[in-house]
Amino acid sequence: MESLLVTQAINVVYEVLILAVLVLGLAVVMGLLNVLNIAHGEFVMLGAYTAYTVQKAGFPYLAAVPAAAVVCGVIGLLVERFLIRPLRYDPFETLLATWGLGLLLRKLVELVFGRGFRSVDIPIGGSVSIFGEAYPTYRLVLMAIAVVVVVALFVWYARAATGARIRAMVGNPVLAEAVGIRTRQLARNTFVAGTAWAGIAGVMIAPLTPVEPFMGLTLIVNSFFALVVGGMGTVTGLFAGSTIIGGLQSVLSASVSPTTAYLAMLILSILFLWQRPRGLFPRP
Amino acid sequence: MFSSITTSRRSLLRAAGVGALAIGTPILRSAHAAGPMKIGVLIADSGPAALFGPAQRAAAELGAAAINAKGGILDRQVEIVFADAGAPPAEVSKSAVKLMLSDKVEMIFGSHDSAVRQGVENVVKGKIPYVYTPVFEGDDCTDNVYFLGEVPEQELQKTLPKLLEFAKGNTFYLVGDDYVWARTTNEKAKKYIAQIGGSVVAEDYYPFGAPNKFESTVTKIKSAKPAIVLQTLVGGDNVNFNRTFADFNLSDDIVRLSCLLEENTLMGIGKDASKNLYSALGYFADIDLPQNKAFIGELTNKYGDKAPQQCTISKGLYDAFVFAAAVSARSKSLAAKEFAMAAEGLSFDTPSGPMTMKRRHTEKNIFLSRCDGTKFTIVDTFTAVPTQQSCT
C-alpha cells in the first residue's frame, strides 16, 4: 500500500510537470502577446514528428531537440510574418487564423506521413528505484528537465533585460516604443520562442504518447484549462495552473475514477471562466 | 387581378408538372432498374477513427469491383456513394437521409461507432437493408439491419480459456474507455471469466476522447498483480496505455488481451511495448488463408505500394458487398422480408474465411494473435464461433 502511494505521488508530480512543459509555449504567446495560438498543439505535434524522423534516420535522440526548435521556430517565424502581424495581433482574429493554421498543419502532416500511428522508441530505457519502487528513467529525466526549464524561465523573466523589455512592451506598448524598445522585433521573437518551445515539448513527449496528426487537439485542451485557472502572463500562474489541473486530474484519477477526474477538471475550468476569467495569478 | 392570373398560371404549371411526373414515373422506374444500383457506404473520413478512412474506402471499392465482375447485384452493376461517418450521430443521420432521398441508394453499408449506427437506424427505419460491419457490443435487433462484425461473445468465449495457457494465473484487471462498447464487453467478459474460475480484481474506465494519462492505472495494476489485463481501449488510448504499461516494466509478468487491437494500433504501440500482448479478432491482414491472399493481392494490384493497411475494421466493408450479392442472388429482391428470409442461414466466403448469417449476426472464424514486435502471429483459430445473439 505504501509503495503504491509513493508511485502515485510521483505520478502526480510527473503529470503536473509534463503539463507545465506543454503549457509553456502557449502561456508565453497568450500571456505576453494576447494571441491565443489554437495551433499550439500542432506545433507540439510537429515536434513529435521531427523526433520520429530524426530517430528513424538513425541520429541520436538529442539531435531532435535543435531540429524541432528549428522546424517549429521557422514555421513560427513565417506564421508571425504572414498571419499574426498582418492581423495586428488582434486576439479574436488571430484566434480564428491559428485555428485554420492548425487545420492546415494537420493536413500537411497527414499528406507526408499518413494518418496512422507512429511510435517513437524511448531514448532512455530502464527504471530507477525510488524508495524501493522502480520508476521509468525517461519520465524522471523529463521531470528534471521540466523543473530546470520552468525555474530558468522564472529567473530569466524576473532578471534579464529582455524580460524587462517584454514586461514594458506588454504593460504599455506605445511608451515602450517611445523609450526605444523595438516592440515589433520583440513580439516576433516572443512568438517564435513560443512555437520553438512547443516543438521541443513535442520531442520530449513523443516517446510517451501516440504520435499521429491529430495528437495536438487533445493536448491543447488541458493546456488551455491550465492557463485559464492559473492566469495569464505570469510564471506563477503557469505553475499554479499546471499544478491544479494536472494534480486534480492525477489525484482524482487514482483515487476515484478517471472519468470523475475529467469531469471535475471541466467543472473547475467552467467555474473559473465564469467567475474568475483572469485566473488565480494574472498579470497585474 | 394580375397576381391572381400569375397564381393560376403557376398552379397550372405545377399541375402539368405533377402530371408529367405521374406519367413519367413508370418509365423512369424501369430505366432506373436497368441502371446501376447505388449503395451508400459510411466511412470515417474525419473524426477519431479517420485513420481507417483510406483502408475502408479501398476495401469497399474492392468489394464493389469483385461483385461487379460477377454481374453485380440483381443483374445490375453497383455504384458506391461514400459519406463521412466521422461526424456526430445527428450529422451522419442527415447524410444517411440525403443518401436515401437524393442519391437514391438502395442499401447502406457502414463502418463506424455504435452511436452513429443508432442515429442512422433511426432515419433509415428499416426501409432499405443496412449492413453494419465493424466490431461492436451486440444486442441490437433493429429491423432490416445486418451485423457482420465480431460481438464480445465471439471475441471472448473461446479465447479466454486459451489465454490461460499463457498467463500465470486467472485474475483479471479490466481497463477500458468509458462508453457502451467497452462497458458491455466487460460485463459479458465477467461471465466468461467466472466460467473459467477466474476473478476480476478491479476495473477502470477512462473518458472517451479525453487527453488521458495511464500512469495511475498502471501503478494500481502493478500493486494488484493480476495475471491478465483485459483491455477495451481504442485508438490512441490503446497505444498510450500499452506504452505506459511497458515503460513501467509490467509486460514480462502480466499477459494483456485487447478486444480491439488491429494493425494500425499495434504500429503505434511499437515493438518495445508489445511483449505478451494478445489480440482476439475476426480478421488480421496476415492470416494465411487463400481467400485473404487473393484479397490482399487485389489490393496490391490496384493500389501498389500505397495500399492502405487493412484490418478488421476496414475489411468488413468488402464482406458487406459479398454478403449483399449472395443474399440478393437468393432473394431476387431487396424488399425487407425477402431479404431477411434469404439472409438467414446463408453462408458466404470472405477474406477471413466462411461466415454464416444467423439471427442477423455472423458465425465466423475468430483468431487469437500474439504480438511479435509490430506483427501479429496467429496462435489459435476458432472456427464458426457462435454469436449468442437472439434477433429474429
pLDDT band, residue A236 (cuts 50/70/90): confident
Cross-strand bridge partners of residue A211? A118
* Residue B49 confidence (pLDDT): 86
Cα–Cα distance measured from residue B378 to residue A239, given in angstroms and rounded to the nearest whole number: 49
Residue A265 belongs to a domain: no
Residues with Cβ < 8 Å from A273, sequence gap 6 or more? A228
Cα–Cα distance measured from residue B38 to residue A151, given in angstroms and rounded to the nearest whole number: 63
User: Which of A4, A15, A119 minimises the CB distance to B268?
Assistant: A119
Residue A256 belongs to a domain: no
Closest CA to B184 of B162, B158, B156: B156
A258 CB neighbours in chain B (<8 A) are 178, 204-207, 212, 216-217
**B154-281 is classed CATH 3.40.50.2300:** yes
A257 CB neighbours in chain B (<8 A) are 204-205
Per-residue pLDDT for B12 more than 70?
A: no
Decide if A4 and B243 are in contact by the 8 Å CB cutoff: no
Helix, strand counts (H, E) of chain A? 11, 2
List the end-to-end C-alpha distance of chain B, in Å, as a whole number. 63
Range of the domain at A80: 2-219
B309 CB neighbours in chain A (<8 A) are 116
pLDDT band, residue A244 (cuts 50/70/90): very high
Taking only residues 231 to 250 of chain B, the set having a beta carbon closer than 8 angstroms to any beta carbon of chain A reads 235-236, 239-240, 243-244, 247-249
Which tens digits make up the pLDDT trace of B176-198? 999 999 999 999 999 999 999 99
Hey, of B214, B247, B261, B269, which one would you mutate to test binding to chain A, going by the most A CBs within 10 A of its CB? B247
Cα–Cα distance measured from residue B232 to residue B287, given in angstroms and rounded to the nearest whole number: 23
**B223 vs A: CB within 8 A:** yes
User: Could you tell me the three cell numbers for B64?
Assistant: 464493389
Residue A55 belongs to a domain: yes
Chain A residue with Cα closest to B265: A117
CATH architecture of B36-150+286-358: 3-Layer(aba) Sandwich (3.40)
Question: How does DSSP classify residue B216?
Answer: H
Per-residue pLDDT for B13 more than 50?
A: no
**B347 vs A: CB within 8 A:** no
A112 CB neighbours in chain B (<8 A) are none
B240 CB neighbours in chain A (<8 A) are 208-210
Mean per-residue pLDDT for A128-141?
92
- Domain limits, chain B: 36-150+286-358, 154-281
CA torsion, points B245, B250, B252, B256, in degrees to nearest 10? Answer: -50
* Number of A–B residue contacts, CB under 8 Å: 118
Closest CA to B283 of B342, B221, B354, B335: B354
* Residue B28 confidence (pLDDT): 44
pTM across the whole model:
0.90
* Residue B31 confidence (pLDDT): 42
Lowest-confidence segment of B33-47, B283-297, B322-336 by average pLDDT = B33-47
* Residue B167 confidence (pLDDT): 96
Q: Do domains B36-150+286-358 and B154-281 have the same CATH topology?
A: yes
Alpha carbon of B40: minimum distance to chain A alpha carbons (Å) = 24
Residue A270 belongs to a domain: no
Alpha carbon of A199: minimum distance to chain B alpha carbons (Å) = 19
Closest CA to B163 of B286, B277, B283, B285: B277
**Residue B51: other Cβ atoms inside 10 A:** 26
Three-state DSSP state, B376: strand
* Residue B21 confidence (pLDDT): 46
Residue A141 belongs to a domain: yes
Whether the ipTM is more than 0.85: the answer is: yes
Q: Residue B36, exposed/middle/buried by CB under 10 A (0-12, 13-18, 19+)?
A: middle
B211 CB neighbours in chain A (<8 A) are 218-219, 221-222
Mean per-residue pLDDT for A219-248?
90
User: Which of B222, B264, B269 minimises the CB distance to A116?
Assistant: B264
Per-residue pLDDT for B10 more than 70?
A: no
| Residue showing cell 447524410 | B95
Task: Indicate the pairing of strand A127-130 with strand A133-136.
Answer: antiparallel
Residue A262 belongs to a domain: no
Cα–Cα distance measured from residue B131 to residue B128, given in angstroms and rounded to the nearest whole number: 10
Distances (CA, A) of B127 to A29, A38, B108, B146, B320: 54, 44, 10, 13, 18
| Residue showing cell 505553475 | A239
Distances (CA, A) of A15 to A19, A259, B51, B196: 6, 16, 28, 38
Residue A230 belongs to a domain: no
Mean per-residue pLDDT for A6-28?
93
Alpha carbon of A5: minimum distance to chain B alpha carbons (Å) = 9
Task: Indicate the pairing of strand B107-110 with strand A127-130.
Answer: unpaired
CA torsion, points A256, A262, A265, A270, in degrees to nearest 10? Answer: -130
Chain A residue with Cα closest to B203: A257
A8 CB neighbours in chain B (<8 A) are 216, 219
Decide if A121 and B204 are in contact by the 8 Å CB cutoff: no
Hey, of A135, A137, A259, which one would you mutate to test binding to chain B, going by the most B CBs within 10 A of its CB? A259
Closest CA to B41 of B60, B27, B22, B25: B60
Decide if A210 and B51 are in contact by the 8 Å CB cutoff: no
Residues with Cβ < 8 Å from B186, sequence gap 6 or more? B174, B176, B203, B230, B232
* Residue A77 confidence (pLDDT): 97
Which tens digits make up the pLDDT trace of B160-170? 999 999 999 99
Mean pLDDT of chain B: 91
Decide if B270 and A119 are in contact by the 8 Å CB cutoff: yes
User: Which of B205, B223, B270 minimises the CB distance to A257?
Assistant: B205
User: Could you tell me the three cell numbers for A6?
Assistant: 509513493
Residue A232 belongs to a domain: no
Q: In this structure, are residues B221 and B214 in contact, taking their beta carbons and an 8 Å threshold? A: no
User: Which comes out higher in pLDDT, residue B226 or A232?
Assistant: B226
How many domains does chain A divide into? 1
Mean per-residue pLDDT for A155-179?
86
* Residue B33 confidence (pLDDT): 54
Which tens digits make up the pLDDT trace of B365-386? 999 999 999 999 999 999 999 9
Q: In this structure, are residues B71 and B112 in contact, taking their beta carbons and an 8 Å threshold? A: no
